[in-house]
Structure 1
Amino acid sequence: MTATADIRVPYLSDAQWEGLLTTRATDPRAVSKAYAARRRPTGLLSERGTIFLVAADHPARGALASGGDAMAMADRRSLLARLVEALEHPDVDGVLGSPDIVEELLLLGALEGKVVIGSMNRGGLDGATWTMDDRFTGYDAASIAACGLEGGKMLLRIDDRDPSTAGTLEGCALAVGELAALGLVAMVEPLPYHRSDDGSLRLLKDTPALARAITIASALGTTSAHTWLKMPSCDDPEAVFNATTLPCVVLGGVPSPEPDKDLESWGRALKQPTVRGLVVGRALLYPPDGDVRSAVAAAATVLRVAHGEAPQ
């Protein structure tokens, strides 16, 4: 693969890609060696007291679309190139990903000194009739500890009309307790949904629904000592984020056609006292102009400014 005329679009060299494919096919033990050899970060938070992660667990749930491209995240070479470029920014503290992507980034040498949060429940496939049944199909607490990761992330979609929500609540509660017992971060993403009579699902972003979701997620498990919450930006972030004392990160979510408005929305949420950082995936990896480096830099600036630093 050669670089395109637009140098802003990230790419992996032929040597990087072919080396990765060869390792995958001929040396499976390289993965465990890479986990063991990874240089871990000195702490979860940066020196500024914030955390900025890039999310890359969407493909594990079959959610491949970004913008107008239904297959954007299906091109693994392109996805990895975008992740490597994002992780090269000094303000990006790490990644949130499923085992396959984390391992590929390890083999590419992109996770040295970075925070790694392993994605745990990916069973609620995008578009499936059982999409709200968010079963655990990825990392578990024991493997997160064995692999030397900093914590685990779980999706908690809450639909009062779907009985499978109860199973997800139980699964997340068990995972929170297991991670806490190992001294590891449990990053819970509670998202309230409403299913219409026609079967369509809609994320609820009103203040009462989001505040309720926060209070439910805060109480999961045998202890909340190691629990973090991953929440979307909203119209009234003060009221929503005042619903907990737990540390929170702002979820970037599905990118809108107007990146400037995304950044503005994140900035308002990032100023809340309980909010410690930002976790963004597709909005940064697949910006409309293809310029991943600039998109990441803009988000990093928003985070810095929200925590009292002057723009660089």
Structure 2
Amino acid sequence: MREEALYRLREDRARHPERVTGVAAARRRRPLLTGRDKLLIIAADHPARGALGVGGRPHAMENRLDLLDRLMTALARPGVDGLLATPDIVEDLLLLGALDDKLVIGSMNRGGVQGSVFEFDDRFTAYDAATIAAMGFDGGKMLCRIAPDDPATAGTLERCGQAISTLAGHGLMAMIEPFWSGHANGSVKHDLSADAMVRAISVVQALGTTSARTWLKIPVTEDMERVMSATTLPTLLLGGDPGQAADEAFAAWGKALRLPGARGLVVGRALLYPPGDDVAAAVDTAAGLLAES
């Protein structure tokens, strides 16, 4: 990022906070689906849960300027449709002029801080549906970790259902990311078996007063044919953190994208912090998978 752009961003943050809403109102918008029927969305909501590590780099995402530079590189590549992020990152990128003609999906429940005793208490601490609508964004994303051994799950399910209903009332996408989870050795673990994913999907797709605007965001796991057959909802595949096994991850994404119902990728760390740090090349590879599917 050029020093001039960084200076303007910091000046706007300090002296002209009202510019955020003004730039959002003037942002050029686009339809959810265009001529292509699959989406590539860049995700950047991990820092809000204190999750800063990528692969073997525990502090990879701690430098905000570096993260913004990587995001701007990714968003400028052909075939990238939009951004999924929390208000702080969305507003930085709005002020930097990086979100015209892009979808903007606001990340909503970031209260389950990684490694905390309240990690399953995924409260809605970031965007709410009313603000997403008022800012002219395109949808809201929520995490829904279903932990039978943690009573906080009940509140998460209720609040996710309410958010889905409210987003639908505004005519906006509700993107929900389900996991069947639990505690193991003092930390949160997700069960990524086909059995667990089918069960999690079955629960979350019934949340809310309507599923008309609900999209799923699910990991690529074994037996994806069976997992994808559990729903008729539009489904985006999440990238996760493949570490050094990026080639294997890309191959698995490409195969899963060919399944009925798969509507694209939502990828963050794997594209923003790839092995070798060539963000543009990693994004172009992911975009190529969509073009081939």
TM score, norm. by length of structure 1: 0.92
- Which structure 1 residue ranges, 5 or more long, are not aligned? 1-11, 307-312
Give the aligned residue type for 1:212.
R
Distance 1:275 1:240 in 2: 11
Matched-pair contact (CA < 8 Å) for 2:87–2:126: yes
Unaligned stretches of 5+ residues in structure 2: none
Are the counterparts in 2 of residues 67 and 288 from structure 1 also a CA contact under 8 Å? no
- Mapped to 1, the partners of 2:250 and 2:98 lie a distance apart of 26
1:122 alignment partner AA: R
Deviation per CA, 1:73-105: give whole Å up to 9, x if none.
110000000000000012000000000100100
Cα deviation, 1:181-218, whole Å, max 9, x if unaligned, reads: 1100000000111322x322221111110011111111
* Counterpart contact for 1:160–1:194, Cα < 8 Å: yes
1:130 matched to which residue of 2? Answer: 118
Q: Which has the higher contact order (CA 8 A, sep 6+)?
A: 2
| 8 Å contact from structure 2 (residues 56, 243) kept in 1 | no
Give every structure 1 segment of 4 or more consecutive aligned residues whose post-TM-superposition deviation is greater than 6 Å.
Answer: none
Identity of matched residues, % = 53
Whichever residue aligns with residue 194 of structure 1, its letter is G
Match of 1:3 in 2: none
Partner of 1:201: 188
Post-superposition shift, 1:229? 0.3
Name the amino acid aligned to 1:173.
Answer: G
Amino acid of the structure 2 residue aligned with 1:73: M
The equivalent residue for 1:243 is: 230
TM-score, length-scaled by structure 2: 0.98
Q: Is structure 2 residue 254 aligned with structure 1 residue 267?
A: yes
Indicate the RMSD between aligned Cα atoms, in angstroms: 0.9
For 2:241 and 2:122, the matched residues in 1 are separated by 19
Which moved further from structure 2: 65-74 or 287-296?
65-74
> Alignment partner for residue 12 of structure 2, among 23, 26, 31?
23
* Residue of structure 1 equivalent to 2:159: 171
**What is the DSSP-based 3-state SS (H/G/I as helix, E as strand, rest coil) of the residue aligned with 1:279?**
strand
Per the TM alignment, residue 69 of structure 1 is displaced from its structure 2 partner at its CA by: 1.6
Q: CA deviation at 1:255?
A: 2.5
* Local SS of the residue matching 2:254: helix
- Provide the secondary structure at the position in 1 that maps to 2:61: helix
Which residue does 1:7 correspond to in 2? none
Kindly indicate whether residue 149 of structure 2 is the aligned counterpart of residue 161 of structure 1: yes
Whole-Å Cα distance in 1 between the matches of residues 248 and 127 of structure 2? 34
Task: Name the amino acid aligned to 2:255.
Answer: R
| 1:281 aligned onto 2:268 | yes
